[in-house]
Amino acid sequence: MTLLDIFPSLRTTMTPRLDPALWPVTTSHDDRGRISIGGVALDDIADQYGTPTYVLDEADVRHRCRTYRAAFPEAEIAYAGKALLIRAVADWITREGLSLDVCSAGELAIALSAGVDPRRIILHGNAKSATELRTAVDAGVGRIVVDSLTEIRLLASVAPRRQKVMIRVTPGIDIHGHHAVTTGVDDQKFGFPLSHNQTGEAARLVLEQPNLQLVGLHCHLGSQIADVECFRSAIARLVGQMAYIRSDHGVILTTLDIGGGHAVPYRPGDPQTDPAELAALVDDALDEACARNRFPRPQIVLEPGRAVVARAGVTLYRVVSIKTIPGGRTFVSVDGGMSDNPRVALYGARYDAAVANRHPTGRHTPMTVVGRFCEAGDILAVDVSLPVDLHPGDVIAVPCTGAYHHSLASSYNGVGRPPIVAVRNGNVRELVRRESVADLMGREIGI
């Protein structure tokens, strides 16, 4: 018999435990009941840097990198920088043995300034400009993923020396996710469909360019893929296509990049991708596909973004006001919102939230955490369990905010973007400073 059986009232009064699947690996409570990450109390960070603030747990990022490296000792893991690319993250992931996928000249500049070896960089994008392509080839970027016939010709015209290239393929696989992040189906803007020999035509065009070297095929099926079976079909179709290219052109492609899209949990009970399970499936699928096509095993590349950084991030907000609508919900307004987390408005994403600055004593009840911006859809977390004695000034922490938050943030309503601080072994350091009104005004050069 447990204490809860003896005193059932404890069920409503006890502090809900933080779900370790959602929070950074170093999360704990200090003796005052405050949440701390990397040995630093979030309440102290809120006091020092203000709110909203993105907190990033370096140990968590490194832990995810190591988990991937252990699960895929022979594959190349290219972190997808679009999830969160700042110099510190570029430094951590390369030190952990990952390479890097970038999708613009801006991301490339961040990577290079962090000292990433350009040969370990892959450049993506469906509308790269001539300047971006030239910048990338001049920098010595390892591989460029081409996305259209126009781009193949453009790249050939700007590459001063032999440039390695992969072709982005849409293998006709529907992950049944949100339409905005379903990128493996034929009828969308990315890549070349396998149907109507469009990929074959792209391969022929690349192979005709003396300064382009076709090394492999690439696909990215979408995001938040928890059922990894779709990667089996992708591998089967892409290896089949590699076999066609061999028979049509006598060329053996050696790289097969199956993209990212591995799921992370945002709320308790959400599914997540297990890298070890994925590794076993990839191995099996490669065995099958290569045997069927009598094709030599290609080098696998994976591009996880969210799965590397999402759980390392926690965003801190301060409660501004609390309002209960008679017969309706209780709204907790905080000092951030859709400009630092547009994912709720964009994808209908759901988040968890917890009080970070104290022991949340007392009964808990469902509340909806909303932002400060001029949109009714400016919501951060719907029906999360928060203490009834929540009050203005309390610090709310939203977990799993390391991916596609800073990188998607805006200055909507003239509110500057939050800073990013990293925590590690009891120390905190600012990596990106808060965007000030002066920064916003600094771009205004005319009237």
Q: What positions carry a catalytic annotation?
A: 374
For ligand PLP, the binding residues in 59-88 under the rule CB under 6 A are: 80, 82-83
| Bridge pairing between strands 163-170 and 212-218 | parallel
Taking CB under 6 A as the rule, does residue 255 contact ligand PLP? no
Omega before 52 within 30 of 0, i.e. cis? yes
Residue 93 C-beta: closest distance to ligand PLP, Å: 13
**Of these, 34, 62, 64, 124, which contacts ligand PLP (CB under 6 A)?**
124
Give the count of residues interacting with ligand PLP (CB under 6 A): 17
| Bridge pairing between strands 313-324 and 330-334 | antiparallel
Specify the stretch interacting with ligand PLP by CB under 6 A; choose among 245-253, 254-262, 358-366, 367-375: 254-262
**Is the separation of the CB atoms in 351 and 6 below 8 Å?**
no
Rg (CA), the chain: 24
From 226, 350, 339, select the one nearest 278 (Cα to Cα): 226
Taking CB under 6 A as the rule, does residue 89 contact ligand PLP? no
If one counts every other C-beta atom within 10 angstroms of the C-beta of residue 12, the result is 11
From 153, 208, 217, select the one nearest 184 (Cα to Cα): 217
What would the x/- binding string for ligand PLP be over residues 370 to 399, using CB under 6 A? Answer: ------------------------------
**Of these, 230, 307, 338, 398, which contacts ligand PLP (CB under 6 A)?**
307
What would the x/- binding string for ligand PLP be over residues 94 to 113, using CB under 6 A? Answer: -------x------------
Taking CB under 6 A as the rule, does residue 354 contact ligand PLP? no
**Of these, 304, 360, 371, 418, which contacts ligand PLP (CB under 6 A)?**
304
Residue 251 C-beta: closest distance to ligand PLP, Å: 23
**Is the separation of the CB atoms in 56 and 423 below 8 Å?**
yes
Q: Could you give the CA distance from residue 185 to residue 188 in angstroms, rounded to a whole number?
A: 7
Taking CB under 6 A as the rule, does residue 305 contact ligand PLP? yes
Structure tokens at 358: 């104290």
Q: Could you give the CA distance from residue 306 to residue 339 in angstroms, rounded to a whole number?
A: 19
Beta strand ranges found along 171-241 (DSSP E): 192-193, 212-218
For ligand PLP, the binding residues in 208-237 under the rule CB under 6 A are: 220, 223
Taking CB under 6 A as the rule, does residue 260 contact ligand PLP? yes
Q: Could you give the CA distance from residue 78 to residue 257 in angstroms, rounded to a whole number?
A: 9
How many residues comprise the chain?
447
**Is the separation of the CB atoms in 34 and 15 below 8 Å?**
no
Specify the stretch interacting with ligand PLP by CB under 6 A; choose among 53-61, 233-241, 305-313, 334-342: 305-313
**Of these, 64, 128, 306, 311, which contacts ligand PLP (CB under 6 A)?**
306
Taking CB under 6 A as the rule, does residue 262 contact ligand PLP? yes
Binding site for ligand PLP (CB under 6 A): 80, 82-83, 101, 124, 220, 223, 259-262, 303-307, 403
